């Protein structure tokens, strides 16, 4: 039973330390969020799961980490200075600004009555700042609106140093910034967010094949990490939705509580970006295929996902409420790879007699896994807390453990409990988690 209402997740995130409104002690900073002790672990797990699939488990991709600030030349050539804009309308009554495509039949998205909207105008979404101390001295710089340009401007460097040849991919995970006109829906649309992007360079004739391949591969990734297939769909863009660089895009969409929403776009960027940068920089950004004696500018297929809204989707899909021993509980049925903690070590009592053994076990497990240690409150309440934050396994150390050198492993989803020798605990945990 996934969450029906976004507030179920927003409240859980605040209550348990996943996500807080940013600068809350000053009343909050609109549509900005800070990731707390659990959220920062989970967001990292989302990104690491992406890197694991897209880089670690492939021999045709490499990872980079490029600069966030860029000079105007990059965004001039990429077309972002001229084209990366949303249609903005002003309300002459309430003085608010909206994205034109968020207004239905001239109705105010905030539900206000009597709003009157101006004609729309293009509003560039990039954040601009100044490098160095002097404003207006020609030192304008931009905060990247996508990580992708880092891959294009480093194409020649990576080609030379990694000895890859098309088809091959350059991947990156990192922050991007957009001055969104209407951010909202919790961490779905914010002005500062993290992207997980891959530019996959292919011989031009292989473009359609790889586009199909990546649409399917990316859909599969969400399913493998626990999102039910029926909560996902692939939606091809209409021609009037395409970005300035795209010859065809499909989105992987998730059924959010408010309807279908984009998690990721898979775009056919063709040779647009490499050609633009080659022309603007005067550098050669092509590939010479010695086997065929041909020189060509590779085509690019780009799977581009957002880490934050993907985390929201994983939380919404994992949310469940059930009844255990006649008691209602909330449980996050997160895939173990995504769960903030994999194991919680819980001594049955706070008494000094159990703590040394429990801490020793925690010390061993935490060499391999992110673990929690908790010795406060009744054991039932501690289980509920771990269920609510998605911890797949609890290891309970009780007084018998001192005699039989065994502990109890409790499963989050079934609440089943099994007794295992301490000497075999790590193997058992690894078998259950699958890693």
Q: Which residues bind ligand GAP (CB under 6 A)?
A: 146, 148, 178, 180, 189-190, 193, 195, 197, 262-265, 302, 304-306, 308-309
What's the closest the beta carbon of residue 188 comes to ligand GAP, in angstroms?
6
Taking the least distance from each CB to ligand GAP, the nearer of 305 and 318 is: 305
DSSP 80-141: HHHH-EEEEEEBTTT--EEEGGG-BTTB-TT--TT--BPPPEEEE--EEEESSS-TTSS-EE
What's the closest the beta carbon of residue 132 comes to ligand GAP, in angstroms?
28
What's the closest the beta carbon of residue 194 comes to ligand GAP, in angstroms?
8
Burial of 186 (0-12, 13-18, 19+ CB in 10 A): buried
Taking the least distance from each CB to ligand GAP, the nearer of 47 and 412 is: 47
Q: Is 366 helix (H, G, I), strand (E, B) or coil?
A: helix
What's the closest the beta carbon of residue 235 comes to ligand GAP, in angstroms?
12
Which residue has the CB atom at the shortest distance from ligand GAP? 306
Q: Distance between CA atoms of 212 and 214, rounded to whole angstroms?
A: 6
What's the closest the beta carbon of residue 239 comes to ligand GAP, in angstroms?
16
Taking the least distance from each CB to ligand GAP, the nearer of 303 and 392 is: 303
Q: Is 143 helix (H, G, I), strand (E, B) or coil?
A: strand
Taking the least distance from each CB to ligand GAP, the nearer of 232 and 343 is: 232
What's the closest the beta carbon of residue 265 comes to ligand GAP, in angstroms?
4
C-alpha dist (Å) from residue 380 to 187, 245, 292, 344, 348: 32, 55, 68, 13, 10
Phi/psi at 348 (5° precision): -60, -40
What's the closest the beta carbon of residue 370 comes to ligand GAP, in angstroms?
25
**Long-range contact set of residues 151-157: C-beta below 8 Å, sequence gap at least 24:** 151/64, 151/66, 151/197, 151/199, 152/78, 152/199, 152/273, 152/274, 152/277, 152/285, 153/66, 153/74, 153/277, 154/64, 154/66, 155/201, 155/274, 155/277, 155/285, 156/283, 156/284, 156/285
What's the closest the beta carbon of residue 59 comes to ligand GAP, in angstroms?
24
Taking the least distance from each CB to ligand GAP, the nearer of 62 and 148 is: 148
Q: Is 214 left (phi over 0), alpha (psi -120 to 50) or beta?
A: alpha
Taking the least distance from each CB to ligand GAP, the nearer of 174 and 390 is: 174
What's the closest the beta carbon of residue 306 comes to ligand GAP, in angstroms?
2
Q: Is 272 left (phi over 0), alpha (psi -120 to 50) or beta?
A: alpha
Give, rounded to a whole angstrom, the gap between the first and last alpha carbons of the chain.
26
- Cβ atoms of 85 and 123 within 8 Å: the answer is yes
Could you tell me how many helices (H) and strands (E) the chain has, helices first?
A: 13, 24
Q: Distance between CA atoms of 112 and 100, rounded to whole angstroms?
A: 16
Taking the least distance from each CB to ligand GAP, the nearer of 65 and 427 is: 65
Phi/psi at 169 (5° precision): -125, 150
Taking the least distance from each CB to ligand GAP, the nearer of 248 and 432 is: 248
Taking the least distance from each CB to ligand GAP, the nearer of 306 and 392 is: 306
Q: Distance between CA atoms of 342 and 41, rounded to whole angstroms?
A: 11
What's the closest the beta carbon of residue 261 comes to ligand GAP, in angstroms?
9
Taking the least distance from each CB to ligand GAP, the nearer of 193 and 341 is: 193
| Cα dihedral 394→36→308→254 (10° resolution) | 50
What's the closest the beta carbon of residue 247 comes to ligand GAP, in angstroms?
14
Taking the least distance from each CB to ligand GAP, the nearer of 235 and 368 is: 235
């Amino acid at each position: 039973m996934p969450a029906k209402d976004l507030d179920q997740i927003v409240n859980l995130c605040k209550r348990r330390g996943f996500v807080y409104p940013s600068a809350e002690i000053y009343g909050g900073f609109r549509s900005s969020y800070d990731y707390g002790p659990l959220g920062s672990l989970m967001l990292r797990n989302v990104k690491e799961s992406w890197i694991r699939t897209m880089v670690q488990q492939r021999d045709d991709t490499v990872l980079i980490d490029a600069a966030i600030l860029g000079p105007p030349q990059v965004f001039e050539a990429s077309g972002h200075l001229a084209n990366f804009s949303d249609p903005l309308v002003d309300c002459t009554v309430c003085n608010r600004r909206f994205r034109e495509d968020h207004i239905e039949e001239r109705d105010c998205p905030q539900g206000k009555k009597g709003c009157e909207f101006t004609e729309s105008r293009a509003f560039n979404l990039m954040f601009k700042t100044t490098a160095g101390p002097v404003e207006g001295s020609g030192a304008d710089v931009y905060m990247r609106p996508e990580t992708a340009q880092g891959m294009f401007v480093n194409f020649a460097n990576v080609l030379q140093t990694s000895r890859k040849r098309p088809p091959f991919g350059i991947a990156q995970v990192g922050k991007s910034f957009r001055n969104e006109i209407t951010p909202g829906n919790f961490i779905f649309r914010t002005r500062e967010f993290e992207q997980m992007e891959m530019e996959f360079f292919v011989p031009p004739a292989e473009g359609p094949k790889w586009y199909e391949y990546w649409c399917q591969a990316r859909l599969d990734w969400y399913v493998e990490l626990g999102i039910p297939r029926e909560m996902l769909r692939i939606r091809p863009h209409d021609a009037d939705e395409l970005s300035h660089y795209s010859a065809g895009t499909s989105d992987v969409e998730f059924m959010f509580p408010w309807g279908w929403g984009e998690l990721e776009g898979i775009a056919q960027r063709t040779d647009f970006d490499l050609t633009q940068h080659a022309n603007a920089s005067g550098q050669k950004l092509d590939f010479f295929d010695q086997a065929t004696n041909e020189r060509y500018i590779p085509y690019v297929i780009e799977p581009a996902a957002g880490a934050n809204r993907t985390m929201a989707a994983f939380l919404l899909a994992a949310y469940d409420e059930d009844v255990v021993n006649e008691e209602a509980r909330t449980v996050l049925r997160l895939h173990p790879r995504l769960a903030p903690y994999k194991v919680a070590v819980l001594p049955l009592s706070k008494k000094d007699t159990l703590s040394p053994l429990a801490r020793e076990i925690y010390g061993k497990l935490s060499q391999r896994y992110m673990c929690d240690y908790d010795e406060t409150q009744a054991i039932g309440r501690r289980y509920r807390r771990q269920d609510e934050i998605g911890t797949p396994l609890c290891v309970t150390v009780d007084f018998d453990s001192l005699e039989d050198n065994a502990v109890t492993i409790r499963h989050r989803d079934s609440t089943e409990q099994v007794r295992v020798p301490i000497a075999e605990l790590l193997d058992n945990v690894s078998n259950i988690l699958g890693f």
